[in-house]
Chain A
């Protein structure tokens, strides 16, 4: 049987699978459209703004990709002026604050509808109502911890609503452990040191995140340094280290 064997694959075979995926173009990269990007989950700490920022960056990235993609309406030259929804539960507001209009990305500032709810049940209700409204561009949710209401069923409901109505959802899970979920792409994100800006090397630069895609339906897992710089820039983490390991692996005989 092959199943037990795949479960006990040695580390080297995993990297081989990654290399294969790489060769076939299955690796995740920015600028992707499709159902797989319609429902994402982002795990982040409540003491930094990285989770919500990555959700916004992915939403913007998807929007740009849709506009540039083959299914875009060639006559549509007006910008997308649909509203978008940001749902926060009370603990998320307390821990990490409310959205601040002047700090939002330029094109999204005037289109935000913010929903402040007390409990996770209300947050799930608001998210689902938002996903069923096709007049919304996308929906972002912030839920703290691992509430009982947010189980596999609730997550599946959200995913189905998002796919049926074409309204993408990014659910930011603050200070949560990785529980069961039906999200198509699951990220873990933290802030990363930013590149030094040219005019003042002492100042913080373009916002950067260290993001790990630990579960995705279409893509093998991987780690990237992501940067929002007019477009979403992704740098593979440990590309140099990977190369190094390949060389060593080629030199030495494989164990087993």
Chain B
């Protein structure tokens, strides 16, 4: 038999009373307190009337079960109280919880309606072993008042089966034989549809061990036209044993360098947090240096005591692993973090790395003394001002002046092109939007004599033009008018670039308007 990959460890978490726990939290009750002491059921409206989604302990004792019609339950227990269930809210909450569960591993997934899967491969030693990891998770969920059952196994299927039907807190070691350990579990542990379970029950196959007892060919034949995994017990069994990968849960083995600090005391102050981030940056520098890599993107996760997770991401223009630089990038992003009741864990992760060779250590000391590199300078600017603020102009093949220039990131290489337009004379600066001016000129297309701009009259002493730029018919609508550009100088020596939009009688509008678009030096 093919052994499951020993490298993978999956933690399955089953929030067995998720709906009720959420309802209780919403009401602000502890378990068995107030309204929870009486029989109560959460109901969902169906076409055949209200059906029970979940019942509390007193309700279950009185006979109410999940899936029962409310009318049937009322005959058993007339005093049964009801509240509306909230499946959409449960799912949204589960999604939120999946982010929170990342504290135990770098990757987690939803297992609707009420479960989570966390990849804890190679993480357990941070907690002191898998038992300690489970204890930590149990304590964390107990603090949030959620009933959970958990298991760790080499595959998601086995972990799920153990969490739902095995002993609580079961750990299937990679050395164990899963077929033997799981033989006693009911077939429901295979995550099968209800009708398939009925078929298996009628066949007398009640436990996973029974499936092995039957010849495989017979089962293959029985379920030959069942393609979906949830309808085919053999496929599920193979997934559970790790013989086939489970495409629904693609457990990504990430090699993202990761460092974290679990804090003895929750911290609430900025200075302490910065110290922790600086320490993490130092750790990250060592990890990256060992791998010969530099980080392009960093994620800083802050786990707060109240269950919130704050994530801050920064990207760098060039790979870097300089601890002071990394910490400095985050320093500005920590300003708006609300620590609330405190931050109990901080993790720094680098999901995007690029090779960065070891360089000779510099002999000068402080960055203040030696200045920064261009990449570091651009990083500092973009982190504070945003990506759109720091750009460089590049050429674009167009004759329309505002279209002939585009903007891109400052360190991205310029695209090569076969040739560039050799413009005659272009202004030093262009207004974002050409400003309309009133001009005295010889109609229809004479030189401008005088114009008024921003409340001031300019006498045109010298002018050159027109430089006629036709509209780009392959890009613009038919009504766009041509432009006649004039380079002019007024009596004070101020030089501008103005244009007349259209000519009289071009059939694309009335009297041509004039615009001032550029300023010469």
> Is A93 at the interface (CB under 8 A from chain B)?
yes
Closest residue of B by beta carbon distance from A109: B393
Q: Would A100 and B377 be within 8 Å (CB), given that A191-B492, A202-B463, A203-B487 are in contact?
A: no
Q: Would A200 and B518 be within 8 Å (CB), given that A83-B410, A191-B493, A193-B489 are in contact?
A: no
Would you give the shortest CB distance from B491 to chain A, in whole angstroms?
Answer: 8
> Is B430 at the interface (CB under 8 A from chain A)?
yes
Rounded to whole angstroms, the CA-CA distance of A87 and B367 in the bound complex is: 22
Interface stretch among B7-15, B201-209, B368-376? B368-376
> Is A231 at the interface (CB under 8 A from chain B)?
no
Q: B130-165 vs A: 1/0 string, CB under 8 Å?
A: 000000000000000000000000000000000000
Q: Are the CB atoms of A133 and B377 closer together than 8 Å?
A: yes
Q: Are the CB atoms of B391 and A114 closer together than 8 Å?
A: yes
Chain B residues whose CB sits within 8 angstroms of the CB of A56 once the complex forms: 428, 521
Closest residue of B by beta carbon distance from A123: B385
Rounded to whole angstroms, the CA-CA distance of A96 and B380 in the bound complex is: 27
Number of interface residues of A (CB under 8 A): 55
Q: Would A93 and B432 be within 8 Å (CB), given that A132-B372, A204-B495 are in contact?
A: yes
Rounded to whole angstroms, the CA-CA distance of A131 and B425 in the bound complex is: 31
Chain B residues whose CB sits within 8 angstroms of the CB of A136 once the complex forms: 374, 377
Q: Tally A-B pairs: CB < 8 A.
A: 167
Interface stretch among B246-254, B319-327, B354-362, B454-462? B454-462
Q: Which one of A93, A103, A113, A210 lies within 8 Å of B427 (CB-CB)?
A: A103
Chain A residues whose CB sits within 8 angstroms of the CB of B425 once the complex forms: 103
> Is B378 at the interface (CB under 8 A from chain A)?
yes
> Is B414 at the interface (CB under 8 A from chain A)?
yes
> Is B473 at the interface (CB under 8 A from chain A)?
no
Q: B504-521 vs A: 1/0 string, CB under 8 Å?
A: 000000000000001111
Q: Which of A54, A56, A100, A104 has the most CB of B within 10 A?
A: A100
Q: Are the CB atoms of B371 and A96 closer together than 8 Å?
A: no
Chain A residues whose CB sits within 8 angstroms of the CB of B393 once the complex forms: 99-101, 112, 114
Q: Which one of B376, B388, B401, B429 lies within 8 Å of A133 (CB-CB)?
A: B376
Q: Are the CB atoms of B385 and A115 closer together than 8 Å?
A: yes
Would you give the shortest CB distance from A110 to chain B, in whole angstroms?
Answer: 7
Chain B residues whose CB sits within 8 angstroms of the CB of A99 once the complex forms: 393, 428-429
> Is A50 at the interface (CB under 8 A from chain B)?
yes
Interface residue ranges of A59-107 to B (CB < 8 Å): 83, 93-94, 96-104
Q: Would A133 and B371 be within 8 Å (CB), given that A103-B518, A193-B493 are in contact?
A: yes
Q: Would A98 and B430 be within 8 Å (CB), given that A130-B377, A204-B489 are in contact?
A: yes
Closest residue of B by beta carbon distance from A133: B377
Rounded to whole angstroms, the CA-CA distance of A45 and B31 in the bound complex is: 74
> Is A144 at the interface (CB under 8 A from chain B)?
no
Q: Which of B389, B423, B425, B428 has the most CB of A within 10 A?
A: B428
Number of interface residues of B (CB under 8 A): 57
> Is A49 at the interface (CB under 8 A from chain B)?
yes
Closest residue of A by beta carbon distance from B414: A110
Would you give the shortest CB distance from A225 to chain B, in whole angstroms?
Answer: 10
Q: Are the CB atoms of B385 and A102 closer together than 8 Å?
A: no
Residues of A contacting B: mostly? mixed
Would you give the shortest CB distance from B454 to chain A, in whole angstroms?
Answer: 6
Q: Are the CB atoms of B410 and A103 closer together than 8 Å?
A: no
Chain B residues whose CB sits within 8 angstroms of the CB of A49 once the complex forms: 427-429, 495, 519-521
Q: Are the CB atoms of A113 and B378 closer together than 8 Å?
A: yes
> Is B392 at the interface (CB under 8 A from chain A)?
yes
Chain B residues whose CB sits within 8 angstroms of the CB of A50 once the complex forms: 494, 521
Q: Are the CB atoms of A202 and B464 closer together than 8 Å?
A: yes
> Is B390 at the interface (CB under 8 A from chain A)?
yes
> Is B488 at the interface (CB under 8 A from chain A)?
yes
Rounded to whole angstroms, the CA-CA distance of A98 and B376 in the bound complex is: 25
Q: Are the CB atoms of A207 and B410 closer together than 8 Å?
A: no
Chain B residues whose CB sits within 8 angstroms of the CB of A98 once the complex forms: 429-430, 432
> Is A14 at the interface (CB under 8 A from chain B)?
no
Closest residue of A by beta carbon distance from B453: A47
> Is A194 at the interface (CB under 8 A from chain B)?
yes
Chain A residues whose CB sits within 8 angstroms of the CB of B464 once the complex forms: 200, 202-204
Q: Are the CB atoms of B428 and A101 closer together than 8 Å?
A: no
Q: Are the CB atoms of A165 and B489 closer together than 8 Å?
A: no
Binding site for A on B (CB under 8 A): 367-374, 376-378, 380-381, 384-385, 388-395, 401, 404-405, 407, 410, 414, 423, 425-432, 453-454, 456, 461-464, 487-489, 491-495, 518-521
22 contacts between A and B (CB under 8 A): A47-B453, A49-B495, A52-B429, A98-B430, A101-B393, A101-B394, A112-B393, A113-B390, A113-B410, A114-B390, A116-B389, A129-B380, A130-B381, A133-B377, A135-B377, A136-B377, A193-B489, A194-B462, A194-B493, A204-B463, A204-B487, A207-B521
Binding site for B on A (CB under 8 A): 47-50, 52-54, 56-57, 83, 93-94, 96-104, 110, 112-117, 122, 125-126, 129-130, 132-136, 164-165, 190-194, 196, 200, 202-204, 207-210, 228
